[in-house]
Structure 1
């Protein structure tokens, strides 16, 4: 009876459970991604709104910096509202409406967005305001007259032409007061002498032209004098500029319009003195500019007193999302069920083939090239190997029975005729019986070695061995057999090659190869034993000039009871156990055994083993 698999452990159920889990995770991840994306979009939109609000504040601050009041601001407010899509309203500090882009009677937002005051602003309103808190576009009495601007523009044009003649690019920029200044596009292209030369127009040094762009005009000088008078009381109140001169300078580039040098007589080392002086100058500038700028106002932005809509989902949207998620889940389950069924079908066929009796050697059909198909191919390969091993086992039993039957039959026959008195037990008969017993003993020893190798109990007793000595010993042991067969036995030793090996087992392995070579080499042939070093390895070869081995037989040379000559005659073949023993002995020595051969050109057996250093006590 086939065992029943619990439904919780079935592959189809597990695949369905996995797919449902994946689908749920996918839906959750998608929802999270949607919420995250929407949040990011909202944050980006809020960032864009903040940038638009800063632009609105900057433009209104610029308007206030160049106008003494808010009389004409309504047109500017309507234009900004149309460009930004925002509601813009300006009021005084007591909420008296100045200008509003919305209709009359529209309530103001609960709180103002910012204060519009060009004398108290920050770096976000206009670049340069961070130096003093005053909008740099508020210039007041420092604004140049039309004749002054025309004169300075002419000078700037001459300076630009001077730079152009020497191949240096410059740009003429204007400050909010109308003053031009020349900016070199790449400071590295303008050496100091060229700057000085172009500033003095190459020798045209006159009172009207010399450094005209770097010195204040009469309008600016007058404003600086008035600013000095406004700042002096503050400096004197803080023990600064007592009896000494106050030197204020004007930055013609407009970045830091006014700076000064101060004489401190009593508290020169007092911390905060420089900052106190700067505060005095800044306060004086605010007093000086106040008549020229619009009064401070409150800026309101938004859509009246309504609250901006927040991200929310209606019941219909929620239902739509849940329905979409359920549809995705249903489609996922259906597709997974179809795929799982197709996956399970070949597995069921494989299971059915594996449950058949072993002697039938049933193969599983291979219909795909995926993991299941590869598993079926592996199962079929395993079945083929099992069938081949079964055939080898049967052949081995038959071969062992044959190898043991022949000598036992000879011994039994001669003993029976001797017992019956038909033949006398003369020395020749006893020698024949002894030879048959030796054959039996050799077969049993070979089988015992193979059994020990299979069980992992084949032991070797390693010691330093000169490879050349092994060749000489094996050649001497087989010299008589080679002479009897008419085969020349040669050696090609290398005295520098040493092995860490069992000399008895190595002579056994080489002896098996030599005896096979002599057996398969015709008269007047040659068998050569050679040794050479190959890097850290030592290579032993046994080469003969016999009939060779067919290419299709080479993979089976080291199999048990295999013979190149299929007949079981001992004249052309042994027991078929010698070469398998050689392979196991090499494995026990961490080496390998290989064969190369061509029909009619002999064969070469190669034993490769790790080399060893020559012992220190060897002379």
Structure 2
């Protein structure tokens, strides 16, 4: 079942439940209110009747015996003679009193004297019957009580007709409300789910690798937040796709160049144009070494990305590691005509993998040597920065365009893609350096150097207990 049908059924079900509950509570409230209305109306009738009976009581010498009443018709139903003493009948009544007329208008009613004896009227034998009681008060105090016994539910024609009318009104209101709920649900459901349909279409487009998909987002609700995330996902996937394509192009270029050189030189040897001597073998060895270095860098970088590189942390003297790698590469710097010096190097101990730290320093120094014009200079500074050790490597021109500093750590980045390669590397050294620094919970930043070239700043935590990765 589609989500729209589920949402429509849920909305209609909740509407029906709420409507039925509201109608049931309205019906119950009406019955309670109507019954209370009847009781209050009956109490008002008894209060009016009590005034008349008190006047007749006084007019007959403060006695119920001499009140001229037609007991057979004064109250609704025949008089109850079973309760109280026998009554003395006075002279025949001249006319029926107004009290009798009022009593005939209501439900069964009984008049009790001050000793709770029945004077006249009907007394209900149902112990659960409702009672409406009004005391008769004169100058001498309480002289009697009027009690009526209204039915549990109104049974007059007017009351029954009114209750039926209300029931019909409630049913009609319920049906109209339900019809309106259906119309509103049918109209509002597509409107509510319209953003979801756009999101579904966008997800299908992303699944089909259409990364240019962009959702217009003018909503401030959860749908708007989801659309924003999908737009971000689309941009991320597009960038990853472009990066992957650039990777493939760059790697193909890096591999094709030495292969083209090797293929061309072999063809020249096969044609007899160039002799196979030590010089030619040395050229072959350089191109093979370049291929091997590129493949090894790619392997190391892929292992780092998938978490395949293992780190074994020990206490390492960073100063000794810097001096050792500097001395190892000194001949390479001298051969190119570049001076290398250590401006400051404090003995600092860090928790690190010795092999990876040596690889980090080597890659940074080789990168500085390859991308510094002769005559040039490379300066190394190692400082103690409290909880961390800071290693700075600066070189002389050429530098890098402002804004491209962070791109130096992207794999195979070339600031000028058309220029010839300056080194035998594959452009992955700084990417591997970033992976190593991240694994040691440090930071690496590139920025312009005061010497005119680039300054690489590495910050590594000191003497921290880092678990083996």
Aligned position for 1:486? 338
Aligned position for 1:563? 414
Aligned position for 2:145? 300
What is the DSSP-based 3-state SS (H/G/I as helix, E as strand, rest coil) of the residue aligned with 1:515?
helix
TM-score (norm 2): 0.66
Instruction: Summarize the Cα distance change of 1:323–1:480 in structure 2 as closer, same or farther, 3 Å threshold.
Output: farther
* 1:441 and 2:292 matched: yes
Aligned-residue offset at 1:317: 1.8
Aligned-residue offset at 1:444: 0.9
Equivalent residues of 1:549, 1:597 under 8 A apart:
yes
Aligned position for 2:79? none
Aligned-residue offset at 1:418: 5.1
Instruction: Summarize the Cα distance change of 1:106–1:346 in structure 2 as closer, same or farther, 3 Å threshold.
Output: same
Instruction: Summarize the Cα distance change of 1:376–1:428 in structure 2 as closer, same or farther, 3 Å threshold.
Output: same
Instruction: Summarize the Cα distance change of 1:443–1:333 in structure 2 as closer, same or farther, 3 Å threshold.
Output: same
Aligned position for 2:191? 342
1:97-136 residue CA offsets vs partner (Å, 9 max, x unmatched): 7xxxxxxx777888896999xxxxxxxxxxxxxxxxxxxx
Equivalent residues of 1:547, 1:600 under 8 A apart:
no
Tell me, in whole angstroms, the C-alpha distance in 1 between the residues paired with 2:308 and 2:249: 26
What is the DSSP-based 3-state SS (H/G/I as helix, E as strand, rest coil) of the residue aligned with 1:319?
helix
Tell me, in whole angstroms, the C-alpha distance in 1 between the residues paired with 2:144 and 2:339: 119
Tell me, in whole angstroms, the C-alpha distance in 2 between the residues paired with 1:608 and 1:600: 21
Aligned position for 1:315? 164
Tell me, in whole angstroms, the C-alpha distance in 2 between the residues paired with 1:478 and 1:377: 51
Tell me, in whole angstroms, the C-alpha distance in 2 between the residues paired with 1:40 and 1:573: 97
Aligned-residue offset at 1:447: 1.0
The one of 9, 12, 22 aligned to 1:17? 9
Tell me, in whole angstroms, the C-alpha distance in 2 between the residues paired with 1:570 and 1:385: 30
Instruction: Summarize the Cα distance change of 1:470–1:315 in structure 2 as closer, same or farther, 3 Å threshold.
Output: farther
Unaligned runs of 5+ in 2: 48-60, 64-108, 126-130
- The two structures, once aligned, show a CA RMSD in angstroms of 4.7
Tell me, in whole angstroms, the C-alpha distance in 2 between the residues paired with 1:604 and 1:25: 71
Aligned-residue offset at 1:515: 2.4
What is the DSSP-based 3-state SS (H/G/I as helix, E as strand, rest coil) of the residue aligned with 2:148?
coil
1:476-519 residue CA offsets vs partner (Å, 9 max, x unmatched): 233333443424432533424321x2211122123222322333
Tell me, in whole angstroms, the C-alpha distance in 2 between the residues paired with 1:306 and 1:41: 15
* 1:325 and 2:347 matched: no
Aligned position for 1:363? 213
Instruction: Summarize the Cα distance change of 1:471–1:44 in structure 2 as closer, same or farther, 3 Å threshold.
Output: farther
Aligned-residue offset at 1:562: 1.0
Aligned length: 391
Larger CA Rg, structure 1 vs 2: 1
The one of 434, 437, 440 aligned to 1:586? 437
Instruction: Summarize the Cα distance change of 1:599–1:611 in structure 2 as closer, same or farther, 3 Å threshold.
Output: closer
Tell me, in whole angstroms, the C-alpha distance in 1 between the residues paired with 2:34 and 2:424: 92
Equivalent residues of 1:471, 1:529 under 8 A apart:
no
Instruction: Summarize the Cα distance change of 1:418–1:436 in structure 2 as closer, same or farther, 3 Å threshold.
Output: same
What is the DSSP-based 3-state SS (H/G/I as helix, E as strand, rest coil) of the residue aligned with 1:30?
helix
What is the DSSP-based 3-state SS (H/G/I as helix, E as strand, rest coil) of the residue aligned with 1:314?
helix
Aligned-residue offset at 1:408: 2.9
Instruction: Summarize the Cα distance change of 1:20–1:573 in structure 2 as closer, same or farther, 3 Å threshold.
Output: farther
1:352-405 residue CA offsets vs partner (Å, 9 max, x unmatched): 555569465452542642444544444444344333333333322222222122
Instruction: Summarize the Cα distance change of 1:37–1:395 in structure 2 as closer, same or farther, 3 Å threshold.
Output: same
